[in-house]
Amino acid sequence: MLEHLPLWIGALMRNVRAGHAKLAIVQPELAIGGTPIDLSSPAFAYGARLPERFTADGAGISPPLVWGDVPAGTRSLALIVEDPDAPAPNPIVHAIVWGIAPTEHRLEEGAMVANGGTGKGSDTGRNSAFGEGWLPPDPPAGHGSHDYAFQLFALADVPDLAGHPGRSALLKAMAGKVLAAGLLVGTYSRGEEARIGGSPQKAPRPVR
């Protein structure tokens, strides 16, 4: 969505960001309690840079996710992936998957696809490009590092949603039904030095 902006525009907007306070996981109406869900990925560590293949600079497939135990009484799980550093009024939604069975404990690499959810009874919602499935990260060059927040919610119900809901519809359906949540953050940037494995390296593609 934003990868074609010139470097100088990204630099000018460096301090224009939606804000982490607007992430789904911190919205008060969800009233999240309980022990946090242990959410991780075999492809990247918490706070580490996303491998290029999961972004608009690579194959653009969704990363694998794994998680631990969920609370007793969980009837379904929902996943929302957002970029709170987007130069927009609200975080950019990169993926919504809902109706995940409580017995599931992973999403395979490339599982977040349109009209398919995880292929195990779940379904996908609308991302900020008004499509389904995974919207690959594509931050503006020069805008600095962006956080990509993978937020997993354990729900006491299966949301009654028609079609492919957007973020607002899903949050409304989840309100008061969240038993616990897990958070995993990956980062990505363009057009500047990026630390990968502790060593500074150039961003993976030339600035357009």
Residue 200: its pLDDT value, please?
Answer: 37
pTM: 0.85
Grouping H, G, I as helix, E, B as strand and the rest as coil, residue 173 is helix
Q: What is the pLDDT of residue 198?
A: 40
**For residue 109, what pLDDT is reported?**
97
The answer to whether the CB of 99 falls within 8 A of the CB of 17 is no
Q: If residue 11 lies in a helix (H) or strand (E), which one and from where to where?
A: helix 7-12
Query: What secondary structure, in 3-state letters, does 18-74 show?
Result: CCHHHCHHHCHHHCCCCCCCCEECCCCCCCCECCHHHCCCCCCCCCCEEECCCCCCC
Cα–Cα distance measured from residue 57 to residue 160, given in angstroms and rounded to the nearest whole number: 36
The pLDDT value recorded for residue 18 is 77
In this prediction, the residues of the chain whose per-residue pLDDT falls under 50 are 6-10, 194-208
Q: Which domains does the chain possess? A: 7-192 (3.90.280.10)
What pLDDT does residue 15 have? Answer: 62
What's the pLDDT tens digit per position in 59-112? 999 999 999 999 999 999 999 999 999 988 999 999 999 999 999 999 999 999
- Which residues in the chain belong to E strands, given as ranges? 39-40, 65-67, 76-83, 92-100, 106-107, 123-124, 146-155, 178-188, 193-196, 199-202
